[in-house]
Amino acid sequence: MATGNRKLLALLQRPLEPTFYPKDDGKTVIDLPENYLTERYRPIGDNLQSRFSTDADTRIPVRNVGTPNIAFAEAITRRGGFSLFNEKHRKISGELITLFVNQPDVESLMAVASYARDRLNPMLFQYALSVAIQHRPDTKDINIPSLLQLFPDSFVDPSVFPKAREEGTVVLQENRMTIDIPMSFTASDREEEQRLAYLREDIGVNLHHWHWHLVYPGDGPDQVVRKDRRGELFYYMHQQLIARYNVERFCARLGRVRPLTNLRVPLSEGYFPKIIRSVNNRAFPPRPQNQVLADVNRVDDDVIFTISDLENWEKRISDSIDVGYVEGSNGQRIQLTEENGVDILGNIMEPSSLTVNRQYYGSYHGNLHNIIAYSHDPEGRFLEGYSVVGEFQTAMRDPTFYRLHAQVDNMFHRFKNTLQPYPANQLNYNGVQIQSLAAQLNRPNAPANVLLTYWQRSQVDLATGLDFGPQGNVFASFTHLQHAPFTFRLTVNNTGARRRGTCRIFIGPKTDERNIPLTYQEQRILMVELDKFTVTLNPGSNTIVRRSEQSSVTIPYERTFRSVALSSQPGSEQFRFCNCGWPSHLLIPKGTPEGMTFDLFAMISDYTGDTVNQEFDENVDCNDSHSFCGLRDRLYPDRRPMGYPFDHRAPTNIRTLQEFVRPNTNMALTNVQIRFTNTVIART
């Protein structure tokens, strides 16, 4: 039942239906004050209340707090697009988040949000309310619904929806069939980039990208934006995306993604998304091959900048990296140190209220998105909206997302390359020796260091996103990459007293798409973090066993594709960060049918150099995906730079990963083979 603060969940269902319309399969009705109804419904308010309340089990009365001032947010059209890459939209969302966060209690928040819901852009409203709920102390136990359940059109082939509505309307609940969402529906195999569609168009991947930015918004109250190492997390999460994407490209026998170094050269990659924007039922525009980028002059959208602006911002950032400091808004020089450099640059690259000088450094990352997103209609003469690259929840579908982020990534690498290689005392851990390292499937007599991937068919309930559609559940099935569960096993000898360490596990390709061995400098920026956890080492031999589902990077399937139902119980967990994390089904690369060999790397670092002097239990309060998402209201649980030990260049005499590992007994390397089986297995 919707009681206490959980009544807010009623506002996060079927976002295009009026607030007074029954929620929770018709069991819940929100009773609005008459003056909260929109002009369309106010003259027939009494009739509406009697029509839609007769079968309700729960009524949620809304307090009348007068008419909230939301005029600033109405500047974003209700039936248009909402993009956080649009500076005007971002500022408005920050103001709306502030309005929601500053409400004195849940009853007031419920009232103000109920008034705003039917008057504002649905995506803006859902985003701002979700951020506010995540950051208010009196709503931190609420499970924020998945955007998949609210706006499924952002994730799946729209041909599914007529079938789902027909099934839900004609067939009783117990007899409904599952609707199949086709895999790779956006291009044929004649398009080379289609080989990576399973990753780019994966529902879980795109939900992860959206939810990360929900946890780390760019504007709003300072306590919402100012999170520990926010700028560095922006760098690291996206750096790992590019590393993963390049590794998957090698599996598909494709070369590394080409950074977007020249904006005056046509984009060779086309993309035809074939998804719609439900707020106005218009399709996301396609982009043909060899599209020429142009200055963007979208006056009505307040998105106005030139290619030269982007080039100038890039040069200013690059020049600042080269001289070792950035210019603050008051002309002061802020040094880029090893400790704060990436964090400062991250907050410059993705402008936020933490940016040291937004006017000087501009909006480099955001407008790289925009120049591609508006490339089909840069002046708005055809009244076309932005393409999928213009929204967080759809951007990763387009191949150019990875090109622009490879360029952003290279800016960070430019800074990292100014830092000295780690000295020996920052890499080794005297007295700690990893004597063996292996990964093994969780099945009897499985050979060591052979991992398996395959296709899996899973189901998700789309009913809560089918506005004005059927009640009950309407399930759709989708196919995604999956891996067989496995376990890491390490034998570690400790020649000293009892001590602690941090076990860091990475996987990286040994060769490129042409089967040419990678140098250390090439390989280190392709290393993909699989896990990071604290270990206690007793004197003598220690056996460390760690299951793949315990990864510090991922969240389980159930949290990626969680339900939005009001009746779902939050249990003992707190949900503010619970749904931020890489999807567990994509923990390891796809591999190849014949088996692709990778380097599996493990390191146990000295805990005295890792600790931030706070203890946490990774098994409670959704702390399990801290590598990408940090911890709720706490410091990032690792003092080392993100990506350590591969974030710094090595001395010039280190040519291979083996040479990097050899002097350090606290590191180990082994070959792991990943075999892909082209078989679809249904989730049990």
Please identify which residue in the block is written with the tokens 């200013």: 316
User: By the 8 A CB rule, do 115 and 68 touch?
Assistant: yes
Bridge partners, residue 601, by sequence:
506, 669
CA distance 8 to 682: 35
Residue 174: is it exposed, middle or buried by C-beta count within 10 angstroms (0-12/13-18/19+)? exposed
CA distance 125 to 115: 11
Helix (H) or strand (E) holding 143: none
> Beta-strand (E) ranges in 299-349?
303-305, 325-327, 333-335
Helix (H) or strand (E) holding 91: helix 87-101
User: By the 8 A CB rule, do 32 and 18 touch?
Assistant: no
CA distance 400 to 388: 10
CA distance 326 to 515: 41
Give the largest Cα separation in the chain, rounded. 81
Q: What SS3 state is found at 70?
A: coil
**Structure-token pair, residue 92:** 């408005």
Give Cα separations from 189 to 192, 193, 197, 480, 680 (angstroms).
7, 8, 10, 17, 19
Using alpha carbons, select from 423, 412, 275 the residue that is nearest to residue 346: 412
Q: At what angle do helices 106-117 and 122-135 cross, to 10 degrees?
A: 170
User: By the 8 A CB rule, do 349 and 400 touch?
Assistant: no
Do β-strands 282-283 and 276-277 pair in parallel, antiparallel, or remain unpaired?
Answer: antiparallel
Helix (H) or strand (E) holding 401: helix 399-416
Q: Which of 201, 350, 391, 529 is catalytic?
A: 350
Residue 592: is it exposed, middle or buried by C-beta count within 10 angstroms (0-12/13-18/19+)? middle
**Structure-token pair, residue 78:** 């209700």
CA 603, distance to chain mean position in Å, is: 27
As a dihedral over the C-alpha atoms of residue 6, residue 629, residue 369, residue 79, rounded to 10 degrees, the angle is 0
CA distance 74 to 320: 39
Question: Does residue 338 carry a catalytic annotation?
Answer: no
Tell me the DSSP string of 596-615. EEEEEEEEEEEHHHH--S--
The letter for the amino acid at 398 is D
**Structure-token pair, residue 652:** 């010039």
CA distance 593 to 317: 43
Task: Name, in order, each residue with C-beta under 8 angstroms of 207's C-beta and a sequence gap of 6 or more.
Answer: 146, 147, 148, 155, 393, 560, 579, 583
CA distance 517 to 620: 42
Q: Give, as one character, the DSSP assignment of residue 24.
A: T
For the annotated catalytic residues, the residue numbers are 350
